[in-house]
């Protein structure tokens, strides 16, 4: 079979990224331009500023990606684009770019759901094996997905309120830690002990999650200690918070693994970079003889390599979009 080269484009939040992936598994080149430094001073991503930064960067990132790959647009088989969900202005910049390239070079356009991309970040580590359970944990999503084959997604449960990454970032903020706080809380947690008592949210037999109660519990605890004139031990609070997050994620996920009788588990999304979460899942999978794959730390957070990998399987399934493709801020995984 002729090799298939997919150009992936990702611009759903604060990363502008292009990547070329061969046959769904072989990464040829990836360029990511992050806006973290721009948004840091506002304590989170400012949508209007994000879209402007994408417009400014997008052609440079594309050029660099093609240059690194030593591949011309003419040699690309198809273009995979994140059409949603995400920040609408940011998504639109990528979608318009993808449509323009598709029209100019007469290449098929493949619409890719952002979460399908996060799931396929694992395919760049090791070819996915089915059936599998995917735990998607990012700044905007917390979902349990069952996949019986490539590009087939069944949602088992999701957060009823905040996403786990959002919760990490809010907890970091109340502790005076800069955006994005997730990685810093992870580091602090590894230095602390579980000394603060926090409730395990939605501790039931469903596949749904809830993180807003936990977030409020941490915020209230910090304020109460302040009123009492007591100093919060950030390391211990981070360790206590992360322990509760891990308990909630592992309980629901391992329950799904058993109920659906699967032997393969993957983690996906920015929070899948968390060392405490990875360590606990690794231990549980080894104890239960479950094969596990985690995304590389570099590609746990937003990037276009994962979009190009997912795009390859969507391409094989015949998924196509035309020039009427629009960006959507929310959409079910499909
Ligand atoms: O997947 P992602 O790049 O963007 C979304 O699609 O949302 O995820 C970003 C999220 C942020 O909330 C960030 O704080 C979190 O992932 N994150 C982490 C870690 N690294 C990134 N959270 C906890 N521990 C980490 N090591
Ligand atoms: Zn993401």
pLDDT value for 44: 85
- Does the beta carbon of 108 sit less than 6 angstroms from any atom of ligand 1? no
283's CB contacts (< 8 A; 6+ apart) are: none
Which residue lies with its CA nearest to atom 4 of ligand 1? 139
Question: Is 322 inside any structural domain?
Answer: no
- Does the beta carbon of 10 sit less than 6 angstroms from any atom of ligand 1? no
Q: Taking the CB of residue 154, how many other CB atoms lie within 10 A of it?
A: 12
In 81-181, which residue ranges form alpha helices assigned H by DSSP?
A: 88-105, 114-120, 164-174
Query: Residue 21: enclosing H or E segment and its boundaries?
Result: strand 15-22
pLDDT value for 153: 98
Q: Are residues 167 and 272 in the same domain?
A: yes
pLDDT value for 263: 98
Which ligand 1 atom sits nearest the alpha carbon of residue 12? 6
pLDDT value for 189: 98
Which residue lies with its CA nearest to atom 10 of ligand 1? 139
Residue 268: domain span: 129-294
- Does the beta carbon of 90 sit less than 6 angstroms from any atom of ligand 1? no
Query: Residue 332: enclosing H or E segment and its boundaries?
Result: none
Query: Residue 10: enclosing H or E segment and its boundaries?
Result: strand 5-10
Which residue lies with its CA nearest to atom 16 of ligand 1? 270
pLDDT value for 268: 98
Q: Are residues 89 and 107 in the same domain?
A: yes
Mutate which of 116, 162, 172, 271 for ligand 1? The one with the most ligand atoms within 8 Å of its CB, which is 271
- Ligand 2 centre distance from Cα of residue 134 (Å): 14
pLDDT value for 265: 98
Question: Is 147 inside any structural domain?
Answer: yes
pLDDT in tens, 34-87: 998 888 888 888 999 999 999 999 999 999 999 999 999 999 999 999 999 999
Look up the pTM and report it.
0.96
Q: Are residues 284 and 195 in the same domain?
A: yes
- Does the beta carbon of 85 sit less than 6 angstroms from any atom of ligand 1? no
Q: Looking at the CA of 245, which ligand is closest? A: 1
**Cα separation of 266 and 132, whole Å?**
7
Question: Is 303 inside any structural domain?
Answer: yes
Question: Is 332 inside any structural domain?
Answer: no
Question: Is 267 inside any structural domain?
Answer: yes
**Cα separation of 156 and 143, whole Å?**
8
Q: Are residues 182 and 270 in the same domain?
A: yes
Task: Flag residues of the chain having pLDDT under 50.
Answer: none
CATH number at residue 32: 3.30.420.40
- Does the beta carbon of 168 sit less than 6 angstroms from any atom of ligand 1? yes
Q: Are residues 56 and 170 in the same domain?
A: no
Q: Are residues 171 and 198 in the same domain?
A: yes
- Ligand 1 centre distance from Cα of residue 47 (Å): 17
Number of domains the chain contains: 2
Q: Looking at the CA of 249, which ligand is closest? A: 1
Q: Are residues 89 and 224 in the same domain?
A: no
- Ligand 2 centre distance from Cα of residue 269 (Å): 6
């Amino acid at each position: 079979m002729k090799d298939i080269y997919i150009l992936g484009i990702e611009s759903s939040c604060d990363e502008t990224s292009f990547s070329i992936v061969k046959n769904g598994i072989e990464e040829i080149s990836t360029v990511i331009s992050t806006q973290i430094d721009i948004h840091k001073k506002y304590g989170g991503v400012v949508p209007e500023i994000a879209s402007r930064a994408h417009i400014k960067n997008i052609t440079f990132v594309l050029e660099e990606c093609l240059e690194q790959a030593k591949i011309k647009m003419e040699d690309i088989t198809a273009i995979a684009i994140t059409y949603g969900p995400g920040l609408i202005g940011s998504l639109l910049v990528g979608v318009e770019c993808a449509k323009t390239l598709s029209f100019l070079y007469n290449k098929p356009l493949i619409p890719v759901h952002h979460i399908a991309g996060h799931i396929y970040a694992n395919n760049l580590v090791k070819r996915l094996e089915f059936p599998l359970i995917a735990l998607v944990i990012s700044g905007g999503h917390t979902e349990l997905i069952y996949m019986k084959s490539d590009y087939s997604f069944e949602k088992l449960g999701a957060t009823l309120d905040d996403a786990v990454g959002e919760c990490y970032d809010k907890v970091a903020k109340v502790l005076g830690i800069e955006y994005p706080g997730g990685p810093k809380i992870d580091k602090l947690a590894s230095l602390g002990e579980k000394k603060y008592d926090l409730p395990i949210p939605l501790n039931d037999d469903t596949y749904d999650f809830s993180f807003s109660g936990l977030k409020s519990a941490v915020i209230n605890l910090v304020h109460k200690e302040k009123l009492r004139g007591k100093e919060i031990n950030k390391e211990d609070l981070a360790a206590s918070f992360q322990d509760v997050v891990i308990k909630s994620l592992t309980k629901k996920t391992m329950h799904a693994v058993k109920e659906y009788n699967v032997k393969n588990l993957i983690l996906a999304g920015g929070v899948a970079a968390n060392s405490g979460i990875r360590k606990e899942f690794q231990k549980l999978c080894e104890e239960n003889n479950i094969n596990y794959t985690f995304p590389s730390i570099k590609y746990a957070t937003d990037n276009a390599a994962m979009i190009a990998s997912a795009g390859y399987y969507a391409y094989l399934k015949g998924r196509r979009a035309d020039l009427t493709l629009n960006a959507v801020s929310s959409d079910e995984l499909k």
